[in-house]
Amino acid sequence: MAKAYRTSIAQFEKAHPDIKVELEVVPWADYWTKLPTDLAAGTAPDLFWLNSSNFALLADRHQIQPLDSWMHSAHISKNAFFQSQLNLYTRDGKLYGIPQLWDSIALFYNKAMVKKAGVNVAKLTWNPSGKGDTFLPAARKLTVDSAGKTAAQAGFDAKKVKTWGFNASNDLQAIYLDFLGSNGVQLEKGDRLGFDTPAGVAAMKYVVDLLNRQHVAPPASTTNGNGSKTLELFVSGKMALFQSGPYNLKSVQEGAKFSWGLAPMLKGPKGRLGVKHAVVTALSAKSGNAKAAQTFLAWLASTKGQMPIASGGYGFPGARGANAAFTAYWKKQGVDVKPFIEQAAVTTGSPQPPRGPKVQAEMTAFDPVFQEISSAA
């Protein structure tokens, strides 16, 4: 992604030789501790990436600038972006970010494993009641031990699994939110966590059972401390189904030595309802170079400015006009990204990503509980 931004910056600077843009790359593990500290100290960059979990708190602290008036004066139409992305970063009627990337959830699958097991990945349905559940039987057939026994066969050894069926793990975006959402549960109720309901408990129990009772997903002891573990297992050919977002397309493309494809995400009792998220660029309220920063932000809002992201296949761009280039890139690679597009088009009932002003602190406090739940025998 940094490569795409460097290309975009070079194009901008060529057209605006009086403005110099410096790109700072901060590791994800440090970003959300460094950014609030820098904002409080007044040393934050003029422009920076922002996700939904942190935006409301920064908006309420008046540390980022609302952009509506500036967009109007700069003749930047909100119609250039998807409404769902704008809604995600609107608070008290004000917009606080320019969409850069969006994502939804789909199912990556190992074609050879799926074919051998006779699994129809396009019609996988889960249900905590067991009624009409086609996913669990499929996951059991796709999980194979070192002796060649599947989890559906007598004599299967759960302690010697060679290939796993699915990537159930402590993953909020690709797993928890989607199982909760497709069982009719939202993560938040107002500005507080609100998924402690019978349907929420049923969804979480189903996921945990995939690990600890059905043994079709890697044990939490191997994934809780390594958020990339399930991706590594999939690209190394040791996992059949990997539910995730387009943010992992590049990693799968570069790492997998087998034929793989994309299918719709798992369908639950309330439908195929997955989380949709977006990343925006925000403008610091204490920017010391506001005019130059706004000029560059206008570039980042444009189809041209986002084209390096799209044409390089790095992510679905926030600008509507650049999306076709992203789809075309992956079509050339033999990958149909339609499942992501179709999932993003689902509007009614989809689980909302975390966005309340307290959610970051709440999730930080709750994460150890998630880990304990998934580790429970």
Domain 2-103+276-343 maps to which CATH number in 3.40.50.720, 1.10.260.40, 3.40.190.10, 3.60.150.10? 3.40.190.10
Nearest one of 268, 272, 221, 285 to 70, comparing CA atoms: 285
- Average pLDDT on 97-109 reads 97
Q: What is the pLDDT of residue 351?
A: 86
Alpha helices in the chain (DSSP H): 2-15, 28-41, 52-60, 68-73, 83-88, 111-117, 135-142, 177-181, 198-212, 220-223, 229-235, 249-255, 290-300, 303-311, 323-332, 338-344, 359-375
CB atoms within 10 A of CB 97: 30
**pLDDT band, very low/low/confident/very high, at 377 (cuts 50, 70, 90):** low
Contact 212, 204 (CB under 8 A): no
Query: Of 360 and 294, which is predicted with more confidence?
Result: 294
Per the prediction, the chain carries an average pLDDT of 92
The β-bridge partners of 193 are: 188
pLDDT tens readout for residues 308-340: 999 999 999 999 999 999 999 999 999 999 999
Flag whether pLDDT at 370 surpasses 80. no
Do the domains 106-274+351-375 and 2-103+276-343 match in fold?
yes
Over 60: is that where the pLDDT of 362 sits? yes
Predicted confidence at residue 254, as pLDDT, reads 94
Q: What is the mean pLDDT of residues 21-45?
A: 89
Domain ranges, ordered by start, for the chain: 2-103+276-343, 106-274+351-375
What CATH number labels 106-274+351-375?
3.40.190.10
**Residues 220-243, mean pLDDT to the nearest whole number:** 91
**Confidence bin at 375 (pLDDT 50/70/90):** low
**126 φ, ψ to 5°?**
-115, 150
Spatial distance between the Cα atoms of 170 and 223, rounded to a whole number of angstroms: 7
Position 373 scores a pLDDT of: 66
**Mean of pLDDT values over 221-242:** 91
What's the whole-number mean pLDDT along residues 64-89? 95
Please tell me the predicted confidence (pLDDT) of residue 376: 58
Buried b (16+ CB within 10 A) or exposed e, 20-39: ebeeeeeeeeeeeeebbebb
- Rounded alpha-carbon distances, angstroms, from residue 135 to 109, 131, 216: 13, 11, 11
- Tell me the pLDDT band of 358, cut-offs 50, 70 and 90: confident
282 DSSP 8-state letter: E
Residue 58's pLDDT is 92
| pLDDT exceeds cutoff 70 at 138 | yes
Helix (H, G, I), strand (E, B) or coil at 123: helix
- Residue 28: the pLDDT is 81
Question: Distance between CA atoms of 263 and 51, rounded to whole angstroms?
Answer: 26
Q: Is the pLDDT of residue 374 over 70?
A: no
Out of 41-55, 63-77, 96-110, pick the least confident. 41-55
List, for residues 257-287, the tens digit of each pLDDT value. Answer: 999 999 999 999 999 999 999 999 999 999 9
Lowest mean pLDDT among 126-135, 191-200, 241-250: 191-200
Three-state DSSP class for residue 188:
strand
